[in-house]
Amino acid sequence: MSTAKIAISISEEMLKQLDDLVREETFPSRSGAIQKAVHDFLDRQYGNRLARECAKLDPEEEMAIAEEGMNSELGSWPEY
């Protein structure tokens, strides 16, 4: 995957904390730490789409649909 260089501005305090993480070898570099942070942020933003879509569903309607499907198939299930 190709990469691109960008310039960002962050507070001195954030830079100090970032450098502490690099010094502690939590991340290999400032760039690595920022890439991980952006990656995690994008995962949360786009990964939450499923949760947002599921929140739009009506639980009672979904249960009724599931029950309807189960009732129509129930006679074809083998006895145990």
In the chain the beta strands, taken as DSSP E runs, fall at none
In a domain, 56, yes or no: yes
Q: Which domain holds residue 51?
A: 12-73
Alpha-carbon distance of 51 to 8, in angstroms, equals 31
Residues in the chain, pLDDT under 70: 69-78, 80
Read off the tokens for 37.
């942070």
pLDDT 10s digits, 6-25: 999 999 999 999 999 999 99
What is the number of domains present in the chain? Answer: 1
In this structure, the number of other CB atoms found within 10 A of the CB of residue 57 comes to 9
Alpha-carbon distance of 35 to 30, in angstroms, equals 9
In a domain, 78, yes or no: no
Residue type, position 71, single letter: N
In a domain, 5, yes or no: no
Q: What is residue 77's predicted lDDT score, i.e. its pLDDT? A: 66
